[in-house]
């Protein structure tokens, strides 16, 4: 592992001054701007989550008022969904790595990319402005269900506009990635020679482009409703509040796959690299991403089983929901088959990838229970649902996000973190995470409803375990972040290809020069994951 | 990478014929609606079918989909399929309440 | 480091195909944006079909028809202006674009009179008379203003887009070899037409 001694100018040093960052068109710098913004919002959202757990430490009032509690869980949801998890992997790692793994120097529309970032900033400012202006942040939950979102005195309008603007940021990122993937692949790289991360981003981008407009227009209807005092979902003029739920979930269910698919893409990159083995079932993994994106549009109704939707519609949605499990499990089986007989190197990124599979499995299987119409009616809107989606979003996407951070860290900063500390932080994080959320699944089965400020005494002990889990989780996350921050500043120099990966990003310098490649990248022969030592196993 | 070279250029005549067809269809749909008001449901169905024919003509000739690579037809087809599914599921829900 | 090396597949190169693909993707988002409203219209028409029928008689079919003809004609002129540009006839192309903008303004003027009449009759959400309408009719007019309003906004944006193209042709940044911007403005304008093709029968012709 020798460091390439040839002098070159990396993208950090290529241009100087604050303006070179704020008006940069370089996809790597834009990715880093996103990174700093998104991690900050993650920490804000996590703090709100800790506050909620503290309040729920015992029944009755502990630290905050009921109204404040409602506003906190709404803000927690809005920040974590719209400001953290939806943009997390696509906007940070997609931006940084998509051009690198495709062997090009930028996305197709660099200026549009910068515009996306500023729309993100604007949306974030709108969301945070509710803390200061109006009558405080919305207290509706992140779903803004009508008619309550129209009647409440809190500042729903600003929160809804924030989600609207963030939606446009997301659309433009998706549009940019689709065109990049179609037009800018390195010569000789067909769709079926692309790394799986770009397949995942491709599927994600299509959801961003085709689902987000529906929520955009729906949220505008809510704004109009608040401005005129009467609205399209108001039964007194012949409207129907359930129609709002339909339109909301037509976007927000596919949005779940905006969160999950990139994470699966990250795992599909990490696993072959650390098994030093060709991915098992390349096409199955690639096409199942597209299948998930496609089927994801057909299942939104499973969020509304108890809303008053008709029985036949609910049955159809329930059946369709089970179809999504097929491509998802295809991926899991292929990942495990890749590990089988691989030359596995256990390193921090692989640990995160494995934790993703473990947590996602719990999240996915509880999801099947929720997708079953008869079972869902009993656990709908209980802590079971809260546990389920935290396992999928945080345990799945969150772990994949931090896995990606550890995997590409040496490429982004050109330095290596302390692996011992990273592994310790990982262990604390994983254990804390499960202590935090597993009790919620049990609480849900016992019948504790979600979004409640207070609860019956019999739920106390499980709630206390969960709150203790939140402290452990935060310890793990803080340790991890400190380790990474120290490494980015003072870590030892990393080689260009520390993990012996063979996708194109490992062929350039760490950190990459401004134009990414100073010579033509060579696509590996026989497929993107055709590791040389995989051949050794065969012969 | 590429300038707009070697592409199909639609003729003025084709644009004009498309326009004539669209105008004709517009007057047809107005006529059905104004003079065939007692047809009710049938007139709504006719109006929607005519609108779809018009939209196809605009997409196919004015928007050049006819001469574009196949992928544009596929993408448009996907968008329409999704939207049709949304309509079908909402109709099922509201008609079986 | 070799300073002269440049990737052939650079994102900073001009690429007409990228530009067109990007525009189409954007049009899909626009279609689905209006799509959401069409879904609302569809459901509410199912729930309040009698009221929607009665309310639709309060619109002026002839004004609607006139506007339809205007938009279809403008769609033809913008399509022809692209053909003219491709064939190298810049002057004809610019004139056809001006015709398109005039048609857009004509559309907006007619719309202004139509909306004005509705204001006079108090059919606008928030006005006193509006609150006395039967509930389904109130929904109808809410949707009418929301949908035609959003469409009108797109007419204005489309016209401004075409103005930019005219400027580009005059300045020489849009040329017979590099006409992507003009093509994209055309696509956007056709979308405006496309939406109106459905709005017109749904609001004016459902008697």
Interface predicted TM-score of the whole assembly (ipTM), two decimals: 0.94
Beta bridge partners of A382: A449
Residues in CB range of C186: below 8 A, 6 or more apart: B62, B63, C78, C79, C81, C82
Please report whether residue B47 resides in a domain: yes
Please report whether residue C110 resides in a domain: yes
Q: What is the mean pLDDT of residues A70-76?
A: 95
Kindly list the structural domains of chain A, giving each domain's residue range(s) and its CATH number in brackets, ordered by start.
24-538 (1.20.210.10)
Lowest-confidence pick of A242-246, A416-420, C8-12: C8-12
Q: What local confidence, expressed as pLDDT, does residue B31 receive? A: 87
- Specify whether B56 is located in the same domain as B20: yes
What's the pLDDT tens digit per position in A373-388? 999 999 999 999 999 9
**What is the three-class DSSP state of C163?**
helix
Please report whether residue C2 resides in a domain: no
Q: What local confidence, expressed as pLDDT, does residue A227 receive? A: 84
Please report whether residue B1 resides in a domain: no
Helices (H) and strands (E) in chain B, counts: 3, 0
Mean pLDDT (chain B) is 89
pLDDT at A538 over 60: no
- Give CA C182 to chain center in angstroms: 16
Cβ contacts (< 8 Å) between B89 and chain A: which residues? 298, 301, 313, 316-317
Lowest-confidence pick of A165-169, A435-439, B46-50, B92-96: B46-50
Q: Residue A27, CB half-sphere, CA atoms under 13 Å: how many?
A: 30
pLDDT at A254 over 60: yes
Please report whether residue B6 resides in a domain: no
Give the nearest chain B residue to A296 (CA atoms).
B82
pLDDT at C65 over 70: yes
Q: C135 and chain A: CB distance < 8 Å anywhere?
A: yes
Q: What local confidence, expressed as pLDDT, does residue C134 receive? A: 87
**Cβ atoms A213, A174 nearer than 8 A:** no
Q: How many residues does chain A have?
A: 539
pLDDT band at residue A128 using 50, 70 and 90 as cut-offs: very high
- Specify whether B97 is located in the same domain as B54: no
How many domains does chain B divide into? 2
Q: Do A311 and B94 touch (CB under 8 A)?
A: no
Q: What is the mean pLDDT of residues A222-232?
A: 84
The whole domain housing C166 covers 18-204
Q: A317 and chain B: CB distance < 8 Å anywhere?
A: yes
Choose the closest CB to B62 out of C75, C177, C206.
C75
3-state SS, A471-507, equals HHHHHHHHHHHHHHHHHHHHCEECCCCCCCCCCHHHH
Lowest-confidence pick of A2-11, A400-409, B41-50, C121-130: A2-11
How many domains does chain C divide into? 1
Cα–Cα distance, A509 to A95 (Å, whole number): 17
CB pairs under 8 A between A and B: 33
Regarding beta strands A492-493 and A415-416, do their DSSP bridges make them parallel or antiparallel, or are they unpaired? Answer: antiparallel
Q: What local confidence, expressed as pLDDT, does residue B2 receive? A: 54
pLDDT band at residue A536 using 50, 70 and 90 as cut-offs: low
- Specify whether B94 is located in the same domain as B58: no
Q: If we measure between CA atoms, which residue out of A513, A516, A515, A520 comes closest to residue A7? A: A513
Q: What local confidence, expressed as pLDDT, does residue A326 receive? A: 95
Q: What local confidence, expressed as pLDDT, does residue C2 receive? A: 47
pLDDT at A535 over 70: no
pLDDT at C52 over 70: yes
The CATH number assigned to the domain holding C95 equals 1.20.120.80
Residue pointed to by tokens 């030093």: A276
Q: C13 and chain A: CB distance < 8 Å anywhere?
A: no
Please report whether residue C108 resides in a domain: yes
- Specify whether B55 is located in the same domain as B80: no
Cα–Cα distance, A332 to A312 (Å, whole number): 32
pLDDT band at residue A292 using 50, 70 and 90 as cut-offs: very high
What's the pLDDT tens digit per position in A99-120? 999 999 999 999 999 999 999 9
The whole domain housing B58 covers 11-63
Q: What local confidence, expressed as pLDDT, does residue B4 receive? A: 60
- Specify whether B55 is located in the same domain as B75: no
Please report whether residue C60 resides in a domain: yes
Mean pLDDT (chain A) is 93
Chain B residues 42-81 with CB within 8 Å of chain C: 43-44, 47-48, 50-51, 54-55, 58-59, 61-63, 72, 75-76, 79
- Specify whether B58 is located in the same domain as B75: no
According to DSSP, residue A4 is labeled P
Give the nearest chain B residue to C12 (CA atoms).
B1
Residue pointed to by tokens 């009467």: A230
Among A104, A249, A297, A303, which would you mutate to test the B interface (most chain B Cβ atoms within 10 Å of its Cβ)?
A: A297
pLDDT at A1 over 70: no
Please report whether residue B2 resides in a domain: no
Please give the C-alpha separations between residue A325 and each of A291, A360, A368, in angstroms, as whole numbers. 11, 12, 8
Please report whether residue C1 resides in a domain: no
Largest CA distance in chain C: 77
Q: What local confidence, expressed as pLDDT, does residue B57 receive? A: 96
**Cβ atoms A145, A252 nearer than 8 A:** no
Neighbours of chain B (3+ CB pairs under 8 A): A, C
Please give the C-alpha separations between residue A301 and each of A21, A419, B63, B88, in angstroms, as whole numbers. 43, 44, 35, 13
**What is the three-class DSSP state of A513?**
strand
What's the pLDDT tens digit per position in C85-118? 999 999 999 999 999 999 999 999 999 999 999 9
Cα–Cα distance, A45 to A314 (Å, whole number): 33
Please report whether residue C4 resides in a domain: no
Q: What local confidence, expressed as pLDDT, does residue A537 receive? A: 47
The CA-to-CA distance between both ends of chain C, in Å, stands at 73
How much of chain C exceeds pLDDT 70, in percent?
98
Please give the C-alpha separations between residue B69 and each of A428, B5, C95, in angstroms, as whole numbers. 53, 15, 30
Q: State the DSSP string of A146-215.
A: TTHHHH--SBHHHHHHHHHHHHHHHHHHHHHHHHHHHH-SPTT--GGGS-HHHHHHHHHHHHHHHHHHHH
Q: What is the mean pLDDT of residues C19-43?
A: 96
pTM above 0.90, yes or no: yes
Q: What local confidence, expressed as pLDDT, does residue C151 receive? A: 97
What are the structure tokens assigned to A122, written together?
């604007």
Residue A90 dihedral angles phi and psi, to the nearest 5°: -60, -50
């Amino acid at each position: 592992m020798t460091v390439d001694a040839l002098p070159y100018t990396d993208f950090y040093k290529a241009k100087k001054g604050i303006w070179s960052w704020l008006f940069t068109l370089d996809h790597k710098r834009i990715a880093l701007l996103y990174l700093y913004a998104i991690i900050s919002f993650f920490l804000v959202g996590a703090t709100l989550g800790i506050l909620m757990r503290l309040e729920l430490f015992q029944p009755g009032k502990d630290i905050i008022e009921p109204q404040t509690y409602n506003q906190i869980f709404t803000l927690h949801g809005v920040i974590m969904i719209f400001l953290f998890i939806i943009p997390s992997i696509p906007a940070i790692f997609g931006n940084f790595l998509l051009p690198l793994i495709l062997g090009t120097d930028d996305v197709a529309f660099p200026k549009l990319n910068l515009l996306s970032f500023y729309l993100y900033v604007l949306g974030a400012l709108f969301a945070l402005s509710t803390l200061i202006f109006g009558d405080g942040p919305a207290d509706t939950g992140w779903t803004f269900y009508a008619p309550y979102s129209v009647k409440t005195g809190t500042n729903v309008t600003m929160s809804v506009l924030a989600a609207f603007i963030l939606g446009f940021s997301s659309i433009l990122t998706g549009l940019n990635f689709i065109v990049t993937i179609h037009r800018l692949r390195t010569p000789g790289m067909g769709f079926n020679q692309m790394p799986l991360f770009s397949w995942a981003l491709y599927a994600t981008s299509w959801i961003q482009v085709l689902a987000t407009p529906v929520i955009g227009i729906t949220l505008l209807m809510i704004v109009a409703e608040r401005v005129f005092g009467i609205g399209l979902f108001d039964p007194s003029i012949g409207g129907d509040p359930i129609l709002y739920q339909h339109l909301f979930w037509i976007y927000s269910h596919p949005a779940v796959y905006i969160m999950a698919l990139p994470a699966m893409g990250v795992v599909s990159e990490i696993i072959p690299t650390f098994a030093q083995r060709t991915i098992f079932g390349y096409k199955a993994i690639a096409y199942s991403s597209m299948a998930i994106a496609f089927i994801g549009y057909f299942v939104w109704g499973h969020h509304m089983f108890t809303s008053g939707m008709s029985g036949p519609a609910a049955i159809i949605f329930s059946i369709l929901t089970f179809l999504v499990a097929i491509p998802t499990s295809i991926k899991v089986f292929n990942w495990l088959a890749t590990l089988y007989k691989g030359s596995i190197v256990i390193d921090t990124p692989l640990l995160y990838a494995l934790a993703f599979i473990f947590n996602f499995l719990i999240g996915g299987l509880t999801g099947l229970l929720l997708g079953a119409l008869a079972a869902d009616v009993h656990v709908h809107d209980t802590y079971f649902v809260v546990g389920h989606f935290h396992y999928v979003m945080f345990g799945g996407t969150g772990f994949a996000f931090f896995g990606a951070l550890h995997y590409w860290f040496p490429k982004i900063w050109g330095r290596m973190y302390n692996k011992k500390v990273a592994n310790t932080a990982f262990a604390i994080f994983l254990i804390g995470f499960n202590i935090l959320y597993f009790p919620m699944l049990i609480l849900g089965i016992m019948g504790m409803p979600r979004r409640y400020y207070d609860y019956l005494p019999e739920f106390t002990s499980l709630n206390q375990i969960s709150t203790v889990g939140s402290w452990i989780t935060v310890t793990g996350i803080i340790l991890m972040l400190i380790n990474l921050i120290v490494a980015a500043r003072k870590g030892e120099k990393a080689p260009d290809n520390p993990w012996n990966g063979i996708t194109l990003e490992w062929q350039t310098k760490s950190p990459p020069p401004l134009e990414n490649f100073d010579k033509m990248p060579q696509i590996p022969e026989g497929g993107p994951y055709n590791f040389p030592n995989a051949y050794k196993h065969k012969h | 990478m590429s300038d707009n070279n070697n592409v199909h250029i639609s003729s003025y005549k084709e644009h004009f014929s498309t326009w004539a067809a669209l105008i004709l269809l517009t007057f047809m749909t107005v006529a059905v609606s104004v003079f065939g008001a007692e047809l009710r449901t049938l007139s709504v169905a006719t109006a929607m079918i005519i609108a779809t024919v018009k939209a196809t003509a605009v997409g196919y000739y004015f928007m050049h989909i006819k001469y574009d690579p196949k992928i544009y037809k596929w993408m448009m087809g996907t968008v329409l399929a999704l939207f049709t599914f949304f309509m079908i599921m909402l109709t099922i829900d509201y008609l079986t309440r | 480091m070799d300073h002269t090396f440049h990737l052939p597949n650079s994102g900073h190169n001009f690429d007409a195909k990228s530009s067109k693909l990007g525009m189409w993707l954007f049009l899909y988002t626009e279609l689905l944006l209006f799509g959401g409203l069409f879904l609302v219209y569809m459901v509410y028409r199912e729930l309040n079909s009698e009221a929607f029928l009665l309310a639709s008689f309060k619109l002026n079919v002839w004004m609607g028809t006139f506007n339809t003809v205007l938009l279809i004609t403008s769609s033809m002129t913008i399509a022809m202006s692209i053909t003219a540009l491709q064939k190298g006839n810049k002057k004809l192309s610019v004139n056809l674009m001006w015709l398109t903008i005039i048609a857009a303004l004509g559309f907006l003027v007619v719309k202004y009179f139509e909306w004005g009449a509705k204001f006079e009759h108090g059919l606008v959400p928030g006005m006193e008379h509006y609150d006395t309408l039967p509930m389904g009719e109130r929904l109808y007019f809410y949707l009418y203003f929301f949908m035609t309003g959003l469409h009108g906004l797109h007419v204005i944006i489309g016209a401004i887009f075409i103005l930019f193209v005219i400027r580009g042709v005059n300045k020489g940044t849009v040329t017979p070899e590099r006409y992507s911007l003009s093509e994209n403005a055309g696509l956007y304008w056709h979308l405006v037409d496309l939406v109106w093709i459905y709005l017109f029968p749904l609001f004016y012709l459902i008697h």
